[in-house]
Amino acid sequence: MEVIPSIDIKSGYCVRLYQGDYNQETIYSDDPLKVALSYQSQGAPRIHIVDLDGAATGKIEHLNIIQNIVSNLEIPIQIGGGIRDYDSATNLYSIGVDRVVIGTSAIKNPSLISQIHTSHGSDAIVIAIDARDEEVSIDGWTQGTSVDVMNLALDMKTLGVTRILYTDISRDGTLTGPNLDMNTKLVSQTGLSILASGGVTKLDDLIELQTIGVEGAILGRSLYTGDIDLSEAINLVS
């Protein structure tokens, strides 16, 4: 199982939000590149970057920071937040981004998913399913929908998607442990590769996620707080 550190960028800073609330942020660094290089040196197989401002506005806001990280790292980078059209996705691929992570457009513009899949292949795209309870949220987690997590995952599978990033918003940034029940359902009922995010707090959480068969776990606040040592985590479950 991959252990993937997350760098969430807001106003140029590395931050963590509490349950996706933009008004409850903690700033951990003013140097995203330094943080990314540190994660690489500790053995991270890839890095997950979220443009939080982009997620809220609907367009990528921190392209320069993203490009600086991609050009200075040797490991693959996946980017989410504000990717709502084909040009935005192809622009990221052109600067060396390995995967784009798309959430809102999976609901609002599913034809974009098909377009990217056709032109770049299934491994170049991850569908972010961010949910409160089992209801999917969009637009930077600010808007609810009537869409069910499992239904969306299966709909995306019919479009050729092979990888889902599932985030339980109620656990994100809370250090309360991941949603094992929903991750188990996604693994067993969709046949897709699942990346689990939200609430991962301790090494035992990673062992449990590995046991249920997720492909990777996204770690954010727990790395900043020192609750999890990245190198130790990677050695434990890789």
Q: Indicate which residues carry an active-site annotation.
A: 8, 130
Phi/psi of residue 231, each to 5°? -60, -40
Strand, helix or coil at 173?
coil
Q: Which residues pair with 169 in a beta bridge?
A: none
User: Cβ contacts of residue 134 below 8 Å, gap of 6+?
Assistant: 148, 149, 150, 182
- What single DSSP character describes residue 42? T
Please say whether the beta carbons of 167 and 187 come within 8 A.
no
The conformation of residue 236, written as its DSSP 8-state character, comes to: H
Distance CA 13, CA 178 (A): 25
Query: Residue 186 burial (CB < 10 Å; 0-12/13-18/19+)?
Result: buried
First vs last C-alpha separation in the chain = 5
